[in-house]
Amino acid sequence: MSTALVPTELPLVIWSTEDLGALRWAHQRLEHPSFAARLSDAIGGPLDKVAGLLPLRWQRRLQRGVENMLLRMLDGVTSSMERLPPHPAHDAMHRVLVMGTGAAGGFFGPAAVLAELPVTTALMLRSIADIAHSEGEDLSHPAARLACIEVFALGGRSHEDDAAETGYYGLRLALALHLSHVTSYGIGTRVPGMIRFAQAVAARFGVVIADKAALQAVPVVGAATGALLNLLFLRHFQDVARGHFILRRLERSHGMEVVRREYERLSEEEARQARPFSHMEGW
């Protein structure tokens, strides 16, 4: 195993090439998590033409339902993994399951979209918890369970976030501001800040759900297309979850501040490469 020295103001850290490679992989997925871009590639064009097809009353129902759904599902999808040793995540199995729910939704048409989404979301959260467990998370701990829920917000980042330079750690910090009492009180709607946390996650996740639901509401969408949409939906959040829990694993090994500094260095490196060369200022 080769190693690399990463310059930092903190005590010198020796990174393995495996850890640095994992960090770079996570950075790419977490800083560019555009589900809309994946959908646009799948349909061969931008989403603008279909985004307005979802009735406003459906959008409101989706948004109201997401907040309650996230809190209600949290304990059930993680409790069966609490005492199991870490194992490889069952990504493929969960993809098959969500393709099945997507096919059913596509077959029965727009009327089935609202009924299918809670089932798909529950399967997604189960897959996210599975990935967390495979990366060494202790799902009996409230912080680990909440990290599973955070994935829905992290996967719902938008171009507005990019414009505001709201990176991965900035969003994590914003979500954490609601949760100072969680470790002491556990998880539940009576925990101080939990409702606001759910609302913050739902606001971002709801945008992604609306994009997906708008496409599923198109009358010509059939079972095969519904299955494909759900596959893209799950793979998007599986990638975000893997990146999120890789970073949390590295933080447990090296310390959060060390990992954050290196993550930000990668962001700065990426920004320099994207910026055109200036004879006056350099890169």
Domain boundaries, the chain: 3-274
Task: Give the per-residue pLDDT at 206.
Answer: 83
Its sign, for the CA torsion 110, 112, 116, 118, is: positive
Q: Report the C-alpha gap between 140 and 83 in whole angstroms.
A: 8
Which distant-in-sequence residues (6+ apart) come within 8 Å of 133 by Cβ? 81, 84, 86, 87, 89, 139
Residue of 258, 187, 228 lying closest to 15 (CA atoms): 258
Q: Are 176 and 260 spatial neighbours (Cβ–Cβ below 8 Å)?
A: no
- In angstroms, what CA-CA distances link 4 with 17, 19, 46, 76, 250? 7, 10, 42, 41, 15
- Distance of alpha carbon 209 from the chain centroid: 12
Q: Angle at Cα 139 formed by Cα 137 and Cα 142, nearest 5°?
A: 110
Q: Using one digit for the tens of pLDDT, what is the confidence trace for 126-168?
A: 889 999 999 999 988 888 888 999 999 999 876 555 544 568 9
Its sign, for the CA torsion 229, 125, 174, 12, is: negative
The residue ranges of the chain whose pLDDT is under 70 are 1-11, 36-54, 73-114, 158-166, 180-192, 216-226, 275-283
Residue of 195, 149, 143, 153 lying closest to 174 (CA atoms): 153
Task: Give the per-residue pLDDT at 25.
Answer: 96
Task: Give the per-residue pLDDT at 194.
Answer: 77
Instruction: Please give the backbone phi and psi of residue 83, each rounded to the nearest 5 degrees, phi first.
Output: -105, 10
Task: Give the per-residue pLDDT at 50.
Answer: 57
Instruction: Please give the backbone phi and psi of residue 191, each rounded to the nearest 5 degrees, phi first.
Output: -70, 130
Name 15's bridge partners. Answer: 4
Single-letter residue type at 50: V
Structure tokens at 203: 């606001």
Residue of 247, 250, 75 lying closest to 149 (CA atoms): 75
